[in-house]
Amino acid sequence: MAVIGTGVIGASWVSQFLGAGLDVVATDPAPGAEARLRETVARHWPVLTQIGLAPGASPDRLTFVTGPEEAAAEADFVQENGPERLEIKHETYRRLDAVAAPDVVLATSSSGLTPSAIQAACRHPGRVVLGHPFNPPHLVPLVEVLGGEHTDEGAVDAAMAFYARIGKRPIRLRRELVGHVANRLQAALWREAFHLVGTGAATVADIDAAIAHGPGLRWALMGPCLLNHLSGGPGGLSHTLDHLGPLMEAMWADLGDPRLTPELKQTLVRGLDEALGPRDRDAMVAQRDRLLVDLVRQKRGAPDLP
């Protein structure tokens, strides 16, 4: 298993792979990258232990090397996490493509670039896929998998199977989109949230409370389509769409179309500062991660939820 790029996302992936009992060879050109990576893995390890480690899992199975060629030469799967710049991706994938066996999947964690754009640099473009995680990958199971214009069907199947095998929840995207799927769903919510703050309809604290103490609790368990189905009683989704459809359409027509002007940015930042007050950021992150661990463990033990 090779990991290319060990920033925030890459280091989290490394932790996930080690926790799954894999040997990991990682590389990153930044000064001090190896020390930071090993420190991050050590920091994540107690949480991974709570979630559940695979037999043989150990931080000692991490090897750090000087470049992508050395990392990928013997790898059976490559997870790339470099900067979101196409020229850098192309250079990285040219180097990976030259040394990795032709049937080895090259997966990118990119949030914005498409596999079609990235695979243009490869002699073997059929093995390039999107394997986009949700941050932090070692805690959040979702991975979005997508092939590009020249990706082989077998590479997509192999990526889906690999992620599922290490405990992720992969979903297969059917076409290339800006921001993929999950980020687009988030963006739709952010759009209206920022609009409501910008127009003075609600404060930043109100918006966050409305989600965190309302629908967000249900969204952690079920998606919007299933929730609408359960809301419909015996009639299910069909009844919900018939009964609430006109209200949904009225709300859609009334949604805002904000722009991130300097004024709106200032309003959002000031509102968040006021909402947080003296709370300690590190303490918040630690509590978030503890709750995520509990939630992930509970969801794994709930077979009737999809």
pLDDT at 16: 97
How many Å apart are CA 244 and CA 235, to the nearest integer? 13
| pLDDT band at residue 31 using 50, 70 and 90 as cut-offs | very high
Give yes or no for a cis peptide into 136 (omega within 30° of 0). yes
pLDDT band, very low/low/confident/very high, at 243 (cuts 50, 70, 90): very high
Instruction: Mark out the alpha helices in 22-171 (DSSP H runs).
Output: 33-51, 68-72, 86-99, 115-119, 153-165
Q: For the chain, which domains are there?
A: 2-172 (3.40.50.720), 183-300 (1.10.1040.10)
Q: How many CA atoms lie within 13 A of 260 on its CB side?
A: 7
**Average pLDDT over all residues of the chain:** 96
Which element (helix H / strand E) includes 252?
helix 236-254
Report which residue type is found at 160. Answer: M
Query: Range with the lowest mean pLDDT among 36-50, 99-113, 285-299?
Result: 285-299
Looking at residue 120, its pLDDT comes to: 95
**The pLDDT value given to residue 106:** 98
The Cα-based distances of 10 to 14, 61, 86, 137, 183 in angstroms read: 6, 16, 18, 9, 19
**pLDDT tens-digit series, residues 61-90:** 999 999 999 999 999 999 999 999 999 999
Residue 207: which pLDDT band, with cuts at 50, 70 and 90? very high
CA distance 81 to 56: 25
pTM: 0.93
Which residues share a beta bridge with 171?
A: 144
